[in-house]
Amino acid sequence: MRRLIPLLLLITTCTHKQPDNKIVTQIVKCATAEAVDYTERDFAALSTADDAVNLAFKIAGRVADVPVAKGQSVRRGELLAELDKRDVELQVEAAEATYREAESRLKRGERLLEHNAISLQEVESLKSRVAQARSAYENALDLLKETRIVAPFAGVVERVYVDTYQRVASGETIVRIVNPVSTTIGFTAPENLITELDNPATHYSVIFDAWPEVSFEAKIKSFARTSSDALGFPVSLRLINTDTSRYKISPGMTCMARVITQTSDSTTVAVPLTAIYAPIGGKDYVWVIDTESRVQCREVELGGVLTRGLVEVRKGLHAGEIVATAGVYKLTDNQQVRIIE
């Protein structure tokens, strides 16, 4: 009998009926769908140079001097590079000598014409030769000027492409300078925004990483209507009413371009991104909380991402409806929830 007692206890323990699991009320956070009559979109952007130019010689030759270096500030008219000009100087001297000789012959011919010792036709021929010689001389002087590259505006040398004594071809890039003060912002826009870019109702602003608390007003400068690489459409903005003496904006600074467009669709609402339930299958849903604090899964059609962590909902949701914003992947249809503030 002593051996049966533990066995009876074991049977009693294993056959004890467990209590039914209670349905646990899910605790959620919520938000109210807000009607929106505008769309805000943010794009990663970069400040670009207002003035930038690649400079080259119009003639071939050997580089005699490059008195500037990368990052150096230059004034307008300052020498950037110079060619060996001895060959060009010889051309100038020869062209000048030919011109002076043609002038001398013309003067002698005009004196002879006064004494009828030469025909008028011969004098006209001498005048034609003088004009040709003058043109050749002036061209040679222009070539002499082309042996020097000077800064067309005050800026910074961004890059030097050649070294002293290097032989270069006509049109080969020698140096690049940029304006150190930038008021131009560049970003890439998607195709669904192109029709709104030149709309007078569209507004632009720019926020730099260096001054996150300052919003700079901007306007559209230019944009491409075609895209060959399928990566988007290049857009340029121009900052307006910006104190460049206080905010030192230079090319290459990272920023965010904000584009605000109006919408005529009165059914568009906005909800937090965290309210979107997107299970495997490619569709988007939200959990709508009814008056009895139960959630209902509803399919929605999303638009663009707005600021402040919001997203457009174009179809499937109405303004004033309450949606769950936390734990959306743990909810089940018709589940009871408890809302926390």
Q: Give 248-283 pLDDT, tens digit per residue.
A: 998 999 999 999 888 766 678 889 999 999 887 778
Q: What residue type is 244 in one-letter code?
A: T
52-83+147-178: what fold? OB fold (Dihydrolipoamide Acetyltransferase, E2P) (2.40.50)
Domain 85-146 has CATH 3.40.47.10: no
In 3-state terms, what secondary structure has residue 247? coil
CATH architecture assigned to 41-50+181-262: Beta Barrel (2.40)
How large is the C-alpha radius of gyration of the chain?
39
| Residue pair 143/109 in contact by the 8 Å Cβ criterion | no
Tokens 């150190």 sit at which residue? 180
**Pairing label, strands 173-178, 184-189:** unpaired
CA distance 240 to 135: 48
| Residue pair 323/302 in contact by the 8 Å Cβ criterion | no
Q: CB neighbours (10 Å) of residue 174?
A: 21
Q: Give 296-337 pLDDT, tens digit per residue.
A: 999 999 877 777 788 888 888 998 999 999 888 888 889 998
DSSP state of 85: -
Question: What is the CA 42 to chain-centroid distance, rounded?
Answer: 13
| Residue pair 295/289 in contact by the 8 Å Cβ criterion | yes
Q: What integer pLDDT is reported at residue 264 of this predicted model? A: 63
Q: What integer pLDDT is reported at residue 95 of this predicted model? A: 93
Domain 26-37+266-339 has CATH 2.40.440.10: no
* pLDDT beneath 50, residues of the chain: 1-21
CA distance 184 to 236: 7
First to last CA, the chain: 63
Tokens 């004009």 sit at which residue? 131
- Enumerate the domain spans of the chain: 26-37+266-339, 41-50+181-262, 52-83+147-178, 85-146
Q: What integer pLDDT is reported at residue 137 of this predicted model? A: 92
CA distance 85 to 60: 11
| Residue pair 39/313 in contact by the 8 Å Cβ criterion | no
